Structure 1
Amino acid sequence: MRADTGSGWEAVFVDPVGQVVQQRWADAALAVAFEELEPVSAFPVVPGRRWGPGQWWSATTGRHVACGSAAMRAQLMVLDRDPEVVGLAGRPVRLLWREGRGQVRSWVPQLFARYRDGAALLADCPSHPEAGGERAQRAAVVLEAACAQAGWSYLRLEPLEKTLAANLKWLAGYRHPRNAGRPHLAAAVHEAFAQPRPLIEGAETVGDPIEVLPAVFHALWHGHLAAPLDVPLNERVLVSPGADGANGHGGTGGPGSRDGR
């Protein structure tokens, strides 16, 4: 397949007042805050599938993000923990282009992420490498070129390893600010893990684990504390000070980063 030039790419999106807009991709990529937009089309409902479309509450933005699959939710968890990510949206743009013989093609990437430096990521979240078939692979070639022109990235993000996904899902349950606890509790939690120690030991030095553990898990989610997430979380896992902005992944790189595939 021959990808069209940048002058041939078009973006379709729903603007903040609900109007469908189509404009040159180069102009839209420069001017449109896609992280603020609603989906340009709904996620499909597949009969028989155990997990259907829903909403992900983002700790980064404080808003809900449309989510179409369990695989996408897992990638949202990774991106929502990334301190460099400042905006997230589900399916905010459709890309149109013409193939070599003039046929109009289109693709709606599942996920958009805006980074602190202004760059962005468009991504799809396949449940396995062959998902979407040849059409998805052909679209990926075009999307990579279009994003490169804009100084962005396009990725087909690899599914998370099961243990990492399970750990992130657990910590995500404590991502809301209400789990940080009272100010003195958050400070005591950080002090308890000033040196690496088992999770339960540090929690018990602060107080009743029933009250303290939600604050510990909240701090782990936000990268204020760190623990290895490639092994199952348990009461003996070693918890240590986090990087607090230098690397908010709590000890994991995660495939949702700009360079991950």
Structure 2
Amino acid sequence: MQTDTGSEWEAVFVDPVGQVVQQRWADAVLAVAFEDLEPVSAFPVVPGRRWGPGQWWSATTGRHVACGSAAMRAQLMVLDRDPEVVGLAGRPVRLLWRDARGQVRSWVPQLFARHRDGTAVLADCPSHPEAGGERAQRAARVLEEACVQAGWSYRRLEPLETTLAANLKWLAGYRHPRNAGRPPLAAAVREAFTQPRPLIEGTEAAGDPIEVLPAVFHALWHGHLTTPLDIPLHERVLVSTGAGAANGRSGPGSGNGR
């Protein structure tokens, strides 16, 4: 390993058969499907904290993703809706390097997301900008450089705005395919919102709201329908089959801190 300004970082991960592997970062980014790996280390349990480690069921992959905090869960919701994301994992890799004094340093990013084009994002999900202190800031600089070498990117994802987070949490409750409804119902839902109209009006036009509403929320989660997510969801919010940009979808580098 070279210093934090060098190019010989190393990756540590748990391979599919449960063995801990350490290899050159440059080799690992080409050969390892990090999105399929278990966490290289467990998320910490902090006594007294209201929200502890858990699992997020991903609509993108159909598998669970290890999740360590409410802030991370919020960012998982954003990534899980991003049509360019095809793989997700929690803490799948530890990066090792030496600092300017020759001491070995390490950092485990909280999130890994694989894009459709094969590139990837490593990310941390601080609950506030100063979380992790100077150590986190130094690690961020190293991770940014290591990811640039790999053709990837590293992000410290800003917490979501309260209304957006609440709306995504509500829609996430309908992300499972069981809420899509039978094909005729899904088609009726799309037809009902061909032109923008209040949510409740389109729902009633498609059928019994008890049956239709889950399909509407499922379609909103997956981007088949759109509505502004920067205002609270309610029965009169306008819904349509318009472009995905209107429904709160976003990719890395967007206004949601990605």
- TM-score scaled by length of structure 1: 0.95
2:247 aligned with 1:251, yes or no? yes
Instruction: Output one character per residue of 1:188-234: Cα deviation in whole Å (capped at 9) or x when no partner.
Output: 00000000000000000111111100000000000000000000000
Looking at structure 2, the residues matched to 250 and 86 of structure 1 have their Cα atoms a distance apart, in angstroms, of: 21
Q: CA deviation at 1:85?
A: 0.2
Q: Could you tell me how far 1:66 is from its partner in structure 2?
A: 0.2
SS in 2 for 1:225: coil
Q: Distance in 2 between matches of 1:196 and 1:86?
A: 30
SS of 1:122's partner is strand
Q: Secondary structure at the match of 2:118?
A: coil
User: 1:4 offset after TM fit, Å?
Assistant: 3.2
Q: Is the 8 A contact 2:97 2:105 kept in 1?
A: yes
| CA offset digits 1:87-144 (Å, max 9, x no partner) | 0000000000000010100000000000000000000000000001111001000000
Residue pair 1:120, 1:153 contacting (<8 A) in 2 also: yes
Aligned to 2:192: 192
What is the identity, as a one-letter code, of the residue corresponding to 1:226?
A: T
Report the counterpart of residue 4 of structure 1 in structure 2. 5
Cα distance in 1, alignment partners of residues 185 and 241 from structure 2: 16
The residue correspondences of 1:166-181 to structure 2 (distance < 5 A) are 166-181=166-181
Distance 1:253 1:62, change over 3 A: closer
Within-5 A mapping of 1:106-125:
106-125=106-125
Distance across 2 between alignment mates of 1:207 and 1:187: 12
Query: Could you list the runs of 4 or more consecutive aligned residues of structure 1 that deviate by over 3 angstroms after TM superposition?
Result: none
| Alpha-carbon RMSD | 1.0
In structure 2, give the amino acid aligned to 1:116. R
Structure 1 Cα separation of the partners of residues 246 and 195 of structure 2: 15
CA contact under 8 A between 1:223 and 1:250: conserved in structure 2? Answer: no
Q: Which residue does 2:44 correspond to in 1? A: 44
Contact 2:11/2:93, CA 8 A, preserved across alignment: yes
3-state SS, counterpart of residue 247 of structure 2 = coil
% identity of equivalent residues: 84
- The equivalent of 1:220 in structure 2 is 220
Specify the SS of the correspondent of 2:5: coil
Contact 2:88/2:113, CA 8 A, preserved across alignment: yes
Amino acid at match of 2:144: E
Mark the runs of 5 or more structure 2 residues left unpaired by the alignment. Answer: none
Structure 1 stretches of 5 or more lacking a match?
Answer: none
How far apart, in 2, do the equivalents of 1:164 and 1:30 lie? Answer: 35
| Inter-partner Cα distance in structure 1 for 2:48 and 2:227 | 37
Change (3 A) 1:53 1:250: farther
